[in-house]
Structure 1
Amino acid sequence: MDTEENASLQLFIEYLQIEKNCSPYTIEFYQQDIKQFFLFMTNQAIVDLNEVNSSDVRIYLTKLFDEQLARKSIARKISSLRSFYRFLVREEIIEANPFSTISIPKLEKRLPGFFYEEELQQLFLSCDSLTPLGLRNKALLELLYATGIRVGECTKIQLKDIDFSISTILIKGKGQKERYVPFGSFAHAALESYIKEGRIKLVGNNGNKHNFLFVNYRGGVLTDRGVRDILNKMMNTLSSGDKIYPHKLRHSFATHLLANGADMRTVQELLGHSSLSSTQIYTHVTNEYLKKTYMSYHPRA
């Protein structure tokens, strides 16, 4: 990579960190996408960021399609580069943004998957409450469904973040944003049992000293991947054959709230969405949910 290109990228990363307050995960994707484009520039004998024009961008877009990348991945890469060049224009490093006239490929609109209440009930009943790991798994499942939090937010929770007196948790979300999320009586009971009877044994038996809520079998901090593995093992105990992932519980949380009369603004706040448009997709899911419920239970459906 050219020194000038490297300096421009570093300036952009600092902008994302300081001004945009992006998460390390988001910044990593920006870096990957931009460095990949720098490699394309080298292969095309383009020696300066200012030399890139709309024709070069179209060639790059064609290359991405030839690699048979998913439309979502291509859209993200183009969006990353558009933001990068917009920043360079703002800083007067280059004169024009060649990505400004390039349209991002339309994405297929797929409704998020969710569980019906009967399916969740089977999942909750499958939890083993007689072992420390069983208590942890039940608390994890109850909390994810009760709050709709992201798996990355869940693994960051510390004991001091939970206020059992008013049943709320301080959640540290995307972009270091914080919000308080309530949880119900089932999650309350499961968390208390896990902390008093499960977590203390898992941590104590292995000599670990930390304040994170969820731990692995060795007493260390539970990772995002660890959560996914736990949920998949729980799902394998059922005969339905469905797949489970943390976001499916988040989708179920939002869908069930809206189906039972919650207003969209409240659901937006609980989910930690910065924009209401991110929450609106659940209105479509709710319509499907209500239709299936009607067809299943109405005597003359």
Structure 2
Amino acid sequence: MKDFELYLRKGGLAENTVRSYLYGVRFFLANYEVTMEDLLEYKSYLLDNFKPKTVNLRLQAINKYLIFNDQKELTLKFVKIQQKPFLEDVISHADYLFLKRSLKKDNNLKWHFVVWFFGATGARVSELIKLKVEHVEVGYFDIYSKGGKMRRLYIPKKLRNSCQKWLDIENRHSGYLFLNKFNQPITARGIAQQLKNYAVKYQLNTKVVYPHSFRHLFAKNFLAKYNDIALLADLMGHESIETTRIYLRKTATEQQAIIDKVVNW
């Protein structure tokens, strides 16, 4: 870390910036490994708990560290800073159902269940790839953060029963739930890319078909059905209820529909 600190100071950064970057990198190294999967998980953690400006500051810190270690290929993209009064790039419930049905109709049950698990559990992609057959059997997955906190990811009964039938047909009774063609656990990057491929195949907007989009959908649907934002914050693993409040907002499309219906003067 001393060499990295020297590298930052040679770059002419302000003292506060150096301290901030060192803090961010130390936090990352204490809780994650330097792999693409962990980097994406870290970005999800930041998005769930901090404002875009802070998220980008932390991403800038880890990107500097990756470049310093000749791992530029692992650097992460920044998020848009501007705060908008609506949720952006969230898949609609109708498109979610269409994608789920289309995959089932094509007998593509693995990806049918990938989409269903995303939409019905609010799982992060880093959590979904760790799901096991045994979790389906008990109906939940306990996630322990490296800070010692525990969050329970519940699997709804309807999804659990349908998935169990699929697993019985596949004669699978243990191990990771979602495997690639080599029978290895599928990767976060693999899921993201394949979802884009299916968006193209079924003529959906590729901007709204990505792993975190389904997490947003879960949150919006949950609040629409059961208006308990404190419970949702717990289910999502948010440290602050303020983070969860964004799901009280409408998407731009929903806002337009309301205006079209209501405003007739």
1:177 aligned to 2:149?
A: yes
1:250-289 equivalences in 2 (<5 Å): 250-285=215-250
Partner deviation per Cα, 1:115-141 (whole Å, 9 max, x = no partner): 22211121112114665xx21111111
2:25 alignment partner in structure 1: none
Q: Distance in 2 between matches of 1:172 and 1:233?
A: 32
Structure 2 unaligned segments of length 5 or more: list them: 22-51, 63-79
TM-score, normalization by structure 1: 0.58
Moved more, 210-219 or 189-198: 189-198
TM-aligned CA deviation for residue 186 of structure 1: 4.1
1:213 counterpart SS class:
coil
Verify the 8 A CA contact 2:133 2:175 in the aligned structure 1: yes
1:162 aligned to 2:162?
A: no
* Counterparts in 2 of 1:299 and 1:121: CA distance versus 1, 3 Å: farther
Q: Distance in 1 between matches of 2:7 and 2:247?
A: 40
2:151 counterpart SS class:
strand
Partner deviation per Cα, 1:160-195 (whole Å, 9 max, x = no partner): 33345xx43334457453322333344224421332
1:151 alignment partner in structure 2: 125
* Counterparts in 2 of 1:39 and 1:145: CA distance versus 1, 3 Å: same
Q: Distance in 2 between matches of 1:113 and 1:175?
A: 31
Higher relative contact order, structure no. (Cα contacts within 8 Å, ≥ 6 residues apart) = 2
Verify the 8 A CA contact 1:171 1:181 in the aligned structure 2: yes
TM-aligned CA deviation for residue 219 of structure 1: 1.1
1:181 counterpart SS class:
strand
Question: Which of 39, 56, 81 is the matching residue for 1:107?
Answer: 81
* Alpha-carbon RMSD: 3.7
Verify the 8 A CA contact 1:146 1:183 in the aligned structure 2: yes
Verify the 8 A CA contact 2:113 2:163 in the aligned structure 1: yes
Q: Distance in 1 between matches of 2:239 and 2:257?
A: 31
TM-aligned CA deviation for residue 247 of structure 1: 0.3
Verify the 8 A CA contact 1:173 1:272 in the aligned structure 2: no
1:94 alignment partner in structure 2: none
TM-aligned CA deviation for residue 145 of structure 1: 0.4
Moved more, 121-130 or 219-228: 121-130
Verify the 8 A CA contact 2:101 2:112 in the aligned structure 1: no
Partner deviation per Cα, 1:93-148 (whole Å, 9 max, x = no partner): xxxxxxxxxxxxx93214343122211121112114665xx211111111110010
* Counterparts in 2 of 1:72 and 1:220: CA distance versus 1, 3 Å: same
Q: Distance in 1 between matches of 2:6 and 2:259?
A: 54
1:218 aligned to 2:182?
A: yes
TM-aligned CA deviation for residue 279 of structure 1: 0.7
Partner deviation per Cα, 1:17-54 (whole Å, 9 max, x = no partner): xxxxxxxxxxxxxxxxxx2x53132355x9xxxxx756
Verify the 8 A CA contact 2:140 2:153 in the aligned structure 1: yes
2:142 counterpart SS class:
strand
* Counterparts in 2 of 1:177 and 1:137: CA distance versus 1, 3 Å: farther
TM-aligned CA deviation for residue 72 of structure 1: 6.2
TM-score, normalization by structure 2: 0.65
* Counterparts in 2 of 1:274 and 1:71: CA distance versus 1, 3 Å: closer
1:141 counterpart SS class:
helix
Q: Distance in 2 between matches of 1:292 and 1:232?
A: 26
1:125 aligned to 2:98?
A: no
Q: Distance in 2 between matches of 1:107 and 1:299?
A: 31
1:221 counterpart SS class:
coil
Verify the 8 A CA contact 2:53 2:81 in the aligned structure 1: yes
Identity score, percent = 22
